[in-house]
Amino acid sequence: MSVLPADPHLPVAHLRPPRNWINDPNGLAFHDGHYHVCFQYNPYGPEHAHMHWGHFRSPDLIDWEELPVALTPTPGGEDADGCFSGNAVSHGDRLIAFYSAYRTDRWAQPVTTAESRDDGVTWTPRGSLLIPDLPDGATMYRDPYVWREAGRWRMLVGAALADGRAAALLYESDDLERWEYRGPFLAGAPRTVAPDGDTGLGWECPQYLHANGRGALLVGAWDPELGPRRTVAFPGREQDGRFLADTPALLDHGPDFYAPALLSAPDGRWLLWGWAWEARDPEWVREAGWSGLLTFPREVTLAEDGSVRQRPAAELLALRDERAVTATGETSGTAVLGTVGPSFDLTARLEPRTATSATGLRLVTSADGTEYLDIRIDPEAGELVVDRDHSSLDPRAHGGTFRVPCPEAKAAAGAPVELRLVVDRSVAELYLPSGQTLTLRFYPVGGTPWRIEARSGGGGSLRYTVGAWNLRPYTMRHATGTPAESAPSDVGLVRP
Ligand code: FRU
Q: pLDDT digits over 48-88, tens only?
A: 999 999 999 999 999 999 999 999 999 999 999 999 999 99
| 298 vs 270: CA distance, rounded Å | 8
Burial class (CB in 10 A: 0-12, 13-18, 19+), 414: exposed
- CA of 155 relative to ligand 1 center, distance in Å: 17
**How much distance in Å is there from the Cα of 26 to the middle of ligand 1?**
10
Contact 435, 216 (CB under 8 A): no
* Atom 8 (ligand 1) nearest CA: 204
pLDDT at 365: 98
Choose among 177, 137, 178, 138: nearest CA to 157. Answer: 138
Q: Is the pLDDT of residue 1 over 50?
A: no
Pocket test of ligand 1: the residue of 21, 38, 52, 85 to mutate, having most ligand atoms within 8 Å of its CB, is: 85
- CA of residue 115 to ligand 1 center, whole Å: 21
Strand partners, 331: 462
Supply the residue whose CA is at minimum distance from atom 1 of ligand 1.
259
E strand or H helix at 233 = strand 230-239
Give 351 Cα–ligand 1 centroid separation in angstroms.
42
Ligand 1 pocket mutation pick from 22, 24, 42 by most atoms within 8 angstroms of CB = 24
Q: Which amino acid is at 219?
A: V
- List the residue whose alpha carbon is closest to atom 9 of ligand 1: 204
| pLDDT tens profile 384-408 | 999 999 999 999 999 999 999 999 9
In Å, how far from its chain's centre is CA 242? 27
pLDDT digits (tens, 9 = 90+) for 344-368: 999 999 999 876 768 999 999 999 9
Radius of gyration of the chain measured on its C-alpha atoms? 22
Residue scoring higher pLDDT (107 or 25): 25
Asked if 154 contacts 206 with a C-beta cutoff of 8 angstroms, the reply is no
pTM value is: 0.95
Rounded average pLDDT over 91-114? 95
Tell the residue nearest (CA) to atom 12 of ligand 1.
84
437-486: pLDDT as tens digits: 999 999 999 998 999 999 998 788 999 999 999 999 999 998 765 444 43
Residue of 7, 23, 77, 9 lying closest to 261 (CA atoms): 23
Q: Tell me the residue length of the chain.
A: 496
**Binding pocket residue ranges, ligand 1, CB within 6 Å:** 23-24, 40, 51, 84-85, 100, 142-143, 204-205, 220, 258-259
Q: What angle do CA 355, 359, 364 make, to 5 degrees?
A: 175
What domains can you pick out in the chain, each with its CATH number? 20-312 (2.115.10.20), 316-475 (2.60.120.560)
Question: What type of residue sits at position 246?
Answer: D
DSSP label at residue 226? -
